[in-house]
Amino acid sequence: MSESGLGGDQEMVRFDLNGSPVEIRVFIDEPLSQVLRRLGESTVRESCAVGLCGCCTALVDGKSVSTCLYWAAMADGTRIETLSGLTSDERVTALQGSIAKHGAAQCGYCTPGMVMTALELFDAGEQSTKEIEAHMNGNLCRCACYPEMRCAIKDALATANKSLET
């Protein structure tokens, strides 16, 4: 058993992380969240480690994933995006501006996961508050900024759709 509590066999995995190729040895029972943290991805946060809070959300092949529940060994050949790789993405800029405007981040611990999950909504056009709530229900916030976050996402989606019309 290793110091991290992981043990057993290891294998080499290769994936694309924020546009750069990565090759790393992982334990076969090592969650992707821990591997991403080992790679310095501090916006991937582990809180519950059992798939309940969404703090560890990243995009794997474009889909939001709770990386604490995703074996790193399964990531071989995938394309992974974290918030730190999307700082110049205009959807992220719009969300961050809107989160600041609505005061939707208190301690900010959950915010990267919230942003990663919310990104999927941009492909679906404008959403009602209920639809946003349903999409975001796997992301928990200990500071209880839920109403503010829903308003922030709704506003960012509305702004993005307006800019598509013009």
- Supply the minimum distance, in Å, between the C-beta of residue 136 and ligand FES: 12
- Indicate the SS3 state at residue 33: helix
- Name which of 28 and 49 has its Cβ closer to ligand FES: 49
- Name which of 64 and 78 has its Cβ closer to ligand FES: 64
For the chain, the first-to-last Cα distance in angstroms comes to: 58
- Supply the minimum distance, in Å, between the C-beta of residue 91 and ligand FES: 20
Bridge-based pairing state of the strands 63-66 and 57-60: antiparallel
Nearest to 36 by CA among 12, 54, 15: 15
Residues that bind ligand FES (CB under 6 A): 46-49, 51-56, 66, 68, 105-110, 141-143, 145
**Vertex 42 angle, CA 16 and 117, to 5°:** 70
- Supply the minimum distance, in Å, between the C-beta of residue 27 and ligand FES: 17
- Name which of 32 and 157 has its Cβ closer to ligand FES: 32
